[in-house]
Amino acid sequence: QVQLQESGPGLVKSSQTLSLTCTVSGGSISSDNYSWNWIRQPAGKGLEWIGRIYTNGNTHYNPSLKSRVTISLDTSKNQFSLKLSSVIAADTAVYYCAREFARWGQGTLVTVSS
């Protein structure tokens, strides 16, 4: 059964770049043409879809974040990554990675500090 695990710094300074990695185990990130997604959830609030990358490398980003987001794939490491630039306090959230929306990681809290 496929499992996903987020990793990365839990604290990022304002105006810097947030970088997270999602490691996939129990299956190849290259198999089939799944979408590999990033979603976030500020404390006590709802979920917000950030973007996705397909196995073929195609990416789609939420227009509200598009200018600051980059998602990439590393098939050799069975990982995909998120970069969010110029972060502000409002980017503080639990960040989740997910395959399609059927398999989710446990999430990682990222706090943006001033």
Partner 1 sequence: DAVMTQSPLSLPVTLGQPASISCRSSQSLVHSDGNTYLNWFQQRPGQSPRRLIYKVSNRDSGVPDRFSGSGSGTDFTLKISRVEAEDVGVYHCMQGTHWPPTFGQGTKVEIK
Look at residue 90 and give its three-state secondary structure.
helix
Interaction mask 63-82, partner 1, x per CB under 8 A: xx------------------
Distance of closest approach, residue 51 Cβ to partner 1, in angstroms: 8
Of the candidates 88, 89, 101, 113, which one interacts with partner 1 according to CB under 8 A?
Answer: 101
The site for partner 1 (CB under 8 A) is made up of: 45-49, 60, 62-64, 96, 101-102, 104-107
